[in-house]
Amino acid sequence: MRNGILVVNKPKGLTSHDVVNSVRKALKMRRIGHAGTLDPLATGVLVILVGECTKLFDRFLTFDKEYVATLTLGSRTTTGDSDGQVVEQRDYCGVTEEKVLGVLSAFRGELMQVPPMVSAVRHEGQRLYVLARQGKEVERKPRRVHIKELRLERFNLPDIQFYLKCSRGTYVRQLAEDIARELNCIGFVSQIERRGIGPFSIHDAIDLTEVDEAKVVPFAEAIHTQGG
């Protein structure tokens, strides 16, 4: 049995657990986990832990994460992304590239962020997303996060594509909704790609169809190879 890490490029439409199950079948072993959930909408870097490396989950909690995401203005959805139902629409004609640049600069650095109802944060023992599916909304305490880099990648209304490098616990969809609010508008995330987790980059990721035992890299070697 190999012990180590696989860096997988998660396709859109699959849950992180779906990817884990696929790797289990490919490697013919049960002791498989992942080091950070991606929503079904999201694509990109999903670090898969194999064998004894499943014990190393906590090592990944301190790693920064990198994303490229698209905020689509003019509509608000139940989930904050394109998988949800549209519940409100509003004009966005007053939004300019100059305004977007100003708003993005205001979000850089440390800030307090309220977790979205569709997150995995627990409230009285239950995951928020479970409560959200029941149509419930509860008060959430804001959490301190660090936005280390935030820049505009593409401005093509209604879409605003941005690059984000952030600390653990940062919710991209919530950040996108907060950006839309500061633009005096509403919006949702229509695309998310995770470009990196710590030293692990999208350029090192393999497709699910390429998973085999020979691709499993020992943790120490993986960290060294990726420059961590």
- Give pLDDT tens digits for 4-60: 999 999 999 999 999 999 999 999 999 999 998 898 999 999 999 999 999 988 888
User: What's this model's pTM, rounded to 2 decimal places?
Assistant: 0.90
93 and 53 within one domain: no
Cross-strand partners of 189: 71, 81
180 and 83 within one domain: yes
51 and 74 within one domain: no
Instruction: Tell me whether the omega of the peptide bond preceding residue 40 falls within 30 degrees of 0, making it cis.
Output: no
Q: Report the domain count for the chain.
A: 2
For 20, the domain range is 4-61+199-225
CB 116 within 8 A of CB 174: yes
pLDDT of 228 reads 44
180 and 75 within one domain: yes
Q: Which residues of the chain have pLDDT under 70?
A: 1, 117-126, 128-139, 222-228
25 and 115 within one domain: no
181 and 209 within one domain: no
CB 12 within 8 A of CB 41: yes
Q: Among this protein's residues, is 159 annotated catalytic?
A: no
> Which position among 39, 91, 178, 204 bears the catalytic label?
39
Residue 37 maps to which CATH number? Answer: 3.30.2350.10
The SS3 of residue 200 is strand
